[in-house]
């Protein structure tokens, strides 16, 4: 019985995962690249790569997944200097992120945050 339930649920997890990545690609990847930047790319970045962001957040929240996901959702809707966990030099260089309220919903952000948490930082 358990196996059947697992089989039935599996497609939903896959869908969820793809959805988070697709949403990220549409709504976040213009500013946050998904790869590690090469040294040539570093000068043309307009925001920190997502790899570094998630790595830094997992450290800041001591691997507390719920707190990390909550932060991603809330920060993306209402970013501020006081809330930011980004390194100071990143904020100095890029400025505080503009709120994405107009382009992404809270539910979409939950999928995006799950995608980010599950896939970053990159293993190699
Ligand atoms: C117009 C460019 C732009 C877009 C689009 C954008 N961001 Fe950002 N984001 C930034 C910049 C710049 C920073 C670095 C400064 C800061 O932390 O506020 C940042 C930082 C972040 C941080 C790190 C905050 C911290 O302090 O650790 C998260 C998380 C984040 N963005 C999530 C998202 C998500 C999710 C999306 C898509 C829904 C998104 N961003 C879309 C520009 C953008």
Q: How far is the CA of 68 from the centre of ligand 1 (A)?
A: 14
Q: Supply the pTM of this predicted model.
A: 0.89
Q: Is pLDDT of 9 > 90? A: no
Packing angle of the helix pair 106-119, 50-60 (nearest 10 deg): 90
Q: Is the peptide bond before 27 cis (omega within 30 degrees of 0)?
A: no
Q: Is pLDDT of 17 > 60? A: no
Distance CA 51, CA 70 (A): 18
Lowest mean pLDDT among 4-8, 31-35, 40-44: 4-8
Fold of the domain spanning 2-34+47-119: Cytochrome Bc1 Complex; Chain D, domain 2 (1.10.760)
103 within 8 A of 77, measured Cβ to Cβ:
no
Q: How far is the CA of 32 from the centre of ligand 1 (A)?
A: 7
Is the beta carbon of 48 within 6 A of some atom in ligand 1?
yes
The residue contributing the CA closest to ligand 1 atom 1 is 31
């Amino acid at each position: 019985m358990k196996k059947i339930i697992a089989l039935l649920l599996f497609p939903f997890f896959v869908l969820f995962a793809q959805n988070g990545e697709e949403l990220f690609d549409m709504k976040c990847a213009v500013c946050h690249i998904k790869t590690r930047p090469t040294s040539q790319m570093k000068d043309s970045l307009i925001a920190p790569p997502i790899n570094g962001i998630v790595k830094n957040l997992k450290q800041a929240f001591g691997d507390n997944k719920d707190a990390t996901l909550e932060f991603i959702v809330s920060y993306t809707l209402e970013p501020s200097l006081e809330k930011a966990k980004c390194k100071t030099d990143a904020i100095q260089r890029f400025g505080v992120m503009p709120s994405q309220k107009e382009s992404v919903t809270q539910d979409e952000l939950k999928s995006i945050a799950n995608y980010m948490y599950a896939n970053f930082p990159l293993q190699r």
